[in-house]
Chain A
Amino acid sequence: MQVPGTDLTVGGYVTGEYSQHGAPLFSISNASLLLWWENDSPLKFFSEIDLQRGLTAQGSYDAQEPQYLSLERLYADYALSADVTLRGGKFLTPIGRWNQVHADPLVWTTSRPLVTEIAFPTSATGVMALGTVSLLGKDVDYNFYAAEDGDLRPAPNVDPFRNALGVRANVTVSDSLQIGASLASFEQRSEQHEVKNLLGADFLWQRDGFEATGELIYRLSESTSEGNERGFFLQGVAPLAPKLFAVYRFELFNSVGPIPGSQNAFLAYALGLPGGAQPPLPPLPPPPPTVRLNIVGLTYRYQPNIVMKIEFVDGSNGAIRAPIGVLSSISLLF
């Protein structure tokens, strides 16, 4: 909605969520306000603030996700040429597809795939060059970005970048298929000097109301203390009626993997080396927590901007934040 007499536009979305994993919980999980300014110059300003868990009927998981006013995005764009736009400020990290359009009314499920938010900070503060070019007759959307420490008002559950360099490309292969690839090298604030290299791949296929999408992440740590993290999801959507869709998603996420250094240390202890004295055995390193999730749901798109969802989430490991149970929501994009 354009503010009369100005070049400002205001929009946003709000989501009411009801979940039942343990104690039932109703919450306004997101209330997001978008505000942007654009006129006929090449300059544009954009911001998004998000009140997370604004209203909660029962505070069963408030300790993990407290109410918080988050600055999701705040940036300026300058269109440099037909193919290049420069962006400076806080923006969504261009890794994968879901993270960049994660607003509840735009996605098919209430829950978010683990691989789209655990393996990397979901926002970055820095500079980016982005645009669309034609290569070999195909449109290629690209992002090059660099981030520094100093993330503007990060959400409390996010471990922000200390520094990051990354690139993403998304190729429109045909009218119904897009394929993307993401590369990033970064350090996070909680683990300085722990350089992580991330490789991601994703796709989106859409035709006649059917949709298939998937994302794959492989994250390697250069030092041995952190280990590797990897996972993927595959999601299918099929129309059941003009506004009603069935959704199925499978997720596999392996957080910090086996740690060779720790295993070697454990062997040294077990064999009594060095010195001959037999110290007490240290505990075995925990097995890598692998989470498998199956999500089956229904999504009713009452209007293009009003979406109702219900889904059943079944998982094999609840150690990582992955709500197991029934989730439902109603979202409005305005």
Chain B
Amino acid sequence: MRYRAIISGLSLVVAGVAAPMLARAAEPIAVIVPLADAKRSVTLSDLALIFRRKRLLWPDGGKIVPINLPASDPVRRDFSLAVFSEPIEASEAYWNDMYFHGITPPFVASSDEAVIRFIEQSKDGIGYVPYCSVDRRVAVLLVIDSAGHPIAPAALAPLCSH
């Protein structure tokens, strides 16, 4: 009986933690840039090249500064599946190879807010956050679901209260 109560209590705690995480993971992902760069455009394959650091420059010559969420963040994991069609762990060997050529992975910001602040103040930066975290400090270039499919603006309107 006592164990059942403990398990039941633990279940509530786990559910309390996991539910927002799952909801966060299922949310569309917005690819963001500084407001000054709102006229740029990217495709999913561009994102793959940029976040693997194979493409270094924007078409206008600016040096691209990509920024990631932490590896444990569900949105980072969704982004990896959407853009690279593989989990984050699968890219470990790739980054070891790249390190041998002096190429390191993109910087990591600790939270959505940190990504937005970095992009707001950066020149030529690009990052991603859950769509509902976006505000007027940054411009959205593309919104994708966890399968990597672009989402039309009309479908996004009902998603976020703001």
Contact = CB atoms under 8 A, between A and B. Distances in A.
Nearest to B86: A175
Interface stretch (A98-106, A109-117, A321-329): A98-106
Given A79-B56, A85-B56, A304-B96, A38 B49 contact: no
Given A9-B102, A41-B63, A333-B99, A134 B45 contact: yes
A9 B59 contact: no
Interface string A12-39: 0000000000000000000000101010
Contacts of B104: 9
Given A42-B63, A44-B102, A304 B92 contact: yes
A36 B104 CA distance: 11
A139 B57 contact: no
B55 A38 contact: no
B45 to A, nearest CB: 6
A134 to B, nearest CB: 6
A141 B101 CA distance: 15
A304 B90 CA distance: 11
Given A106-B97, A305-B96, A132 B102 contact: no
Contact of B85 (A34, A101, A103, A175): A175
Size category, B interface: 20 to 34
Contacts of A41: 63
B63 A132 contact: no
Interface in B58-94: 58-59, 61, 63, 65, 84-86, 92-93
B41 to A, nearest CB: 13
Given A9-B102, A41-B63, A101-B97, A132 B57 contact: no
B137 interface: no
B141 to A, nearest CB: 15
A152 B39 CA distance: 46
B149 interface: no
B59 to A, nearest CB: 6
A40 interface: yes
B64 to A, nearest CB: 9
B54 interface: yes
Contacts of B92: 304
Interface in B118-143: 123-124
A11 interface: yes
Contacts of B55: 82-83, 132
Contact of B65 (A40, A85, A103, A333): A40
28 contacts: A11-B99, A34-B100, A38-B102, A40-B65, A42-B56, A42-B63, A44-B102, A46-B101, A46-B102, A81-B59, A81-B61, A82-B55, A82-B57, A82-B59, A106-B97, A131-B54, A132-B49, A132-B54, A132-B55, A137-B45, A139-B48, A141-B54, A175-B85, A175-B86, A304-B92, A305-B96, A333-B96, A333-B99
Interface of A: 9, 11, 34, 36, 38, 40-42, 44, 46, 79, 81-83, 85, 100-101, 103, 105-106, 131-132, 134, 137, 139, 141, 175, 206, 304-305, 333
